[in-house]
Amino acid sequence: MAGNTFGKLFRVTTAGVSHGPGYLCIIDGCPAGLPLSVEDLLPDIRRRKPGQSKLTTQRKEDDLPEIWSGVFEGKTDGTPIGLVFRNGDQRSGDYGDIKDKYRPGHADYTFDAKYGFRDYRGGGRSSARETVCRVAAGAVAKKLLAREGIRVLGYVKQVGSVVADIPDPTAVTLEQVESNDVRCPEPDAAAKMIALIDEARMDRDSIGGVSELVAVGVPPGLGEPVFDKLKADLGKALLSLPAVLAFEYGNGFRCAEMRGSENNDVFVPTSGEGDSSPTIRTETNRHGGMLGGISSGEPIVCRVAIKPTSSIPRSQRTVTREGEATEILVKGRHDPCLLPRFVPMGEAMVALVLIDHLMRAKCGRLSG
């Protein structure tokens, strides 16, 4: 019950389905005094938007958010921010077949099993369209983080067998990420990924991949042991996104094959240019910026795996609601690869976790 709120101090609550009037998003706990307008939300919303390129679904969504409350005279006023997204382009005829048959890889069956019935139109509540709320809330979080010198950036690291070589994740720029349709900052890999996605699309199939997410400027001390560790909350946030099957940070799964002497990062003094720089760092960042579940001051680096789109334009075996064997051909317009549009979603969830933990950490020490 009641799983539609995220965060403890910076709280996001959403409602809405893809084929109803629209989505509601309430951000509760945003500090007062932040300049905010619809324009602040649009860049990331556009990066998430369907129909950006041939790599993404050709479905069109208007996605223009409206700020109904929480902003007064151009600044947040400390009261809950109410966002409204009206649904636009709904081809109501597209979902006839999914009413009675379960799409493989989708939540149709599990929603029915959970609630007894479901809004089958466009996936109802399980539609990834709800992530537009997360991306908007994440844009607010990013703006708050920027004031503290924290920047969150994601990109596509892998599509199918193509893995981009990105030796320094912290050197990647937004411009590099946005320079191509697949959002991979390494141009050669990007070209190969695009070809691979196109190939999958031509084969009436889809393909998976990996996104890497980086946060720089995160001060040491974020994360609340023993259960609300920063790594745990980042994992939860990213795994709550549709199609994410895996999460790792730092060395991640590779640590299984390593020895302690290879995996440990040794501490080193910093040259100490300027007063504000931290005086202690690690020589390497195999720990992905978190030790004991608390940020170390090193960049946070994590990765998630996104499965190939479950909706593929070919006939698949399945069963009806009554349990009889049948076939289904999922209609509609779907992304052949979810990765390009995932990037702003992933960034949003990282930003929501960081702002929440930043606010929590401020309570950790006595003032004065």
Query: Please, which of residues 123-142 interact with its own copies by CB under 8 A?
Result: 124-126, 130
Cα separation of 280 and 277, whole Å?
9
Out of 65, 138, 250, 346, the only residue in the binding site for its own copies (CB under 8 A) is 250
Q: State the pairing for strand pair 325-329/315-319.
A: antiparallel
- 321, with CB counted inside 10 A (0-12, 13-18, 19+), is middle
Q: Give strand pairing partners of 81.
A: 27
Count the alpha carbons within 13 Å of 21 in the hemisphere toward its beta carbon: 2
Q: Which of 152, 244, 300, 343 binds its own copies (CB under 8 A)?
A: 244
Cβ burial of 100 (10 Å; 0-12, 13-18, 19+) is middle
* 90 lies in the binding site for its own copies (CB under 8 A): no
Closer residue to its own copies, CB minimum distance, 92 or 259? 259
Question: Of the candidates 74, 165, 175, 256, which one interacts with its own copies according to CB under 8 A?
Answer: 256
Q: Which one of the spans 53-61, 157-165, 168-176, 177-185 is the region binding its own copies (CB under 8 A)?
A: 157-165
Interaction between residue 60 and its own copies (CB under 8 A): no
169 is known to lie in a ligand binding site? no
Q: Does 268 bind its own copies (CB under 8 A)?
A: yes
Spatial separation of the C-alpha atoms in residues 26 and 63, rounded to whole Å: 16
Least separation in angstroms between residue 315's CB and its own copies is 11
Quick one: which of 239, 5, 24 has its CA closest to 133? 24
Q: Among 1-9, 39-47, 49-57, 90-98, which window interacts with its own copies (CB under 8 A)?
A: 1-9
Count residues binding its own copies (CB under 8 A): 162
Choice from 49, 118, 151, 183 touching its own copies (CB under 8 A): 118
The structure tokens listed for 362 are: 């401020």
Binding residues are: 48, 54, 125-127, 292, 307-311, 333
